[in-house]
Structure 1
Amino acid sequence: MAKGFRQMLDEADALVASVSVEEMAQRTDDPALVMVDIRDPRELEREGMIPGAFHAPRGMLEFWIDPESPYHKPRFAQDAVFVFYCASGWRSLLAARLAQEMGLKARSLRGGFSEWKAAGQPVAAREGKRD
């Protein structure tokens, strides 16, 4: 029988470390961390993003991470901890698990961008494309 998304989330949650909004708010200037927003571009345009975050659409993640891919982004070759986030934390938890399986040091932002905003943390307008 196929796995449901709840089972997939539970498995990912057991394997991937999550960080709280409070912890990330204190570390946004830490060069050893790269915040990765995996939301759809329309979400970014509508709601903004965490200042300094790197946008990597969820649908391109595997291609951008793999150094053998013609779509590889050098940002993913950095020696850093990558903290993935989406709106609620579900997509980013699965993305962080995938990134971890591909060899990255990956974390997920617990509660996602919604919790970030609810906590009154800063939000920036989406900037142009970045690598």
Structure 2
Amino acid sequence: MAMKSAKDLVAEASREVETLSGQEAVKLLGDPNVVFVDVREGEELQKTGKLQGAVHVPRGFLEFQADPNSPTHKPELGAGKKLVLYCGSGNRSALGAKSLKEMGITNVAHVAGGFPALQQAGGPQEEVSR
């Protein structure tokens, strides 16, 4: 079996999950049935801030914090709400959304272009303290 590249995995994930543009995602801000999830690393958030009101879950912890049976579960990721993931470019969020979908969380999407696309679409930002 041939090895898949990271690019192949991201392309496959993008075909399998809902992908939103920055503009489409910003229109969902304020919807009580939508939770934005920033899957970037903490250092990235400290440099650039995050989308106002977004929940921070580093990509490496996503599956654990989404799993209601995990001791590190974040309740914000449950309750049947639509989860909209974003990262720095759209790659990690695509992979994360696919993984959540495979876990049975079907109401999930990711933002193509990541945080920069949300910024360009006028998404409100907040600083992240150390």
Provide the secondary structure at the position in 2 that maps to 1:91. Answer: helix
Name stretches of at least 5 consecutive residues in structure 1 with no aligned partner: none
1:126 aligns with 2:114: no
CA distance in 1, matches of 2:25, 2:39: 17
Provide the secondary structure at the position in 1 that maps to 2:108. Answer: strand
Alignment equivalent of 2:119, drawn from 114, 117, 120: 117
1:12 aligns with 2:13: yes
The letter of the residue matching 2:40 is R
Provide the secondary structure at the position in 1 that maps to 2:125. Answer: coil
**Deviating 4+ runs (over 6 angstroms):** none
CA distance in 1, matches of 2:79, 2:10: 27
1:1-131 aligned within 5 A: 1-104=2-105, 105-126=107-128
Shift of 1:118: 3.0
Measured at CA, do residues 127 and 82 of structure 1 come closer, stay the same or move farther in structure 2, by a change above 3 Å?
farther
Q: Deviations over 1:11-44 (max 9, x none)?
A: 1011001111111222200011100000000110
Provide the secondary structure at the position in 1 that maps to 2:83. Answer: strand
Pairs aligned (count) = 128
TM-score, with structure 2 as normaliser: 0.91
TM-score, with structure 1 as normaliser: 0.91
Name stretches of at least 5 consecutive residues in structure 2 with no aligned partner: none
